[in-house]
């Protein structure tokens, strides 16, 4: 049986056979709007207003799913709120990867690193479910 024969799946079940599965409650556009809204409020609004001076360096660590990072970075670049740094390529962002975005005093970002998994090695890298596909 081919993947086409099996049809779309969610949690290992055919959607046709899983009548109790609710449809996605949020469109891609609504999700993107929510993610960029978080950036505007939490990073630009709150963080930059508290930082105050260009002489101060503030480092934030945000952990989330690779899909959120992908959406955020694509939205930032598409809206010109950020640009890619030298040699940065926006592709798949694996879970447990590292993405670095430097934000200037003007609120504009530069993606310095995207989806880097070089810190994963050996057994940790081999066990990553999202790398197996």
How high is the mean pLDDT of the chain?
77
In whole angstroms, what is the distance from residue 90 CA to residue 94 CA? 12
Q: What's the sign of the alpha-carbon dihedral 120, 68, 102, 114? A: positive
pLDDT tens-digit map of 69-78: 999 999 999 9
Residue 16 has pLDDT above 80, yes or no: no
Here the tokens at position 130 are 């999202």
Phi, psi of 107 (to 5 degrees): 85, 0
CB atoms within 10 A of CB 97: 20
pLDDT at 30: 92
pLDDT tens-digit map of 46-62: 777 766 555 566 677 88
Q: Could you tell me which of 61, 60, 65, 82 has the C-alpha nearest to residue 73?
A: 82
Question: For a pLDDT cut of 90, what percent of the chain falls above it?
Answer: 35
SS3 111: strand
Q: Is the pTM of this model over 0.85?
A: no
**Chain centroid to CA 131:** 16
pLDDT at 1: 38
């Amino acid at each position: 049986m081919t993947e086409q024969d099996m049809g779309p799946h969610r949690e290992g079940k055919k959607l046709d056979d899983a009548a109790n599965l609710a449809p996605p409650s949020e469109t891609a556009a609504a999700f993107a709007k929510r993610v960029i809204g978080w950036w505007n409020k939490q990073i630009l609004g709150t963080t930059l207003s508290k930082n105050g001076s260009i002489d101060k360096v503030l480092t934030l660590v945000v952990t989330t799913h690779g899909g959120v990072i992908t959406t955020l970075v694509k939205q930032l670049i598409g809206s010109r709120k950020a640009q890619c740094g030298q040699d940065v390529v926006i592709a798949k962002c694996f879970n447990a990867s590292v993405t670095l975005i430097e934000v200037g005093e003007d609120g504009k970002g530069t993606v310095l690193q995207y989806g880097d998994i070089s810190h994963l090695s050996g057994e940790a890298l081999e066990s990553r479910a999202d790398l197996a596909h």
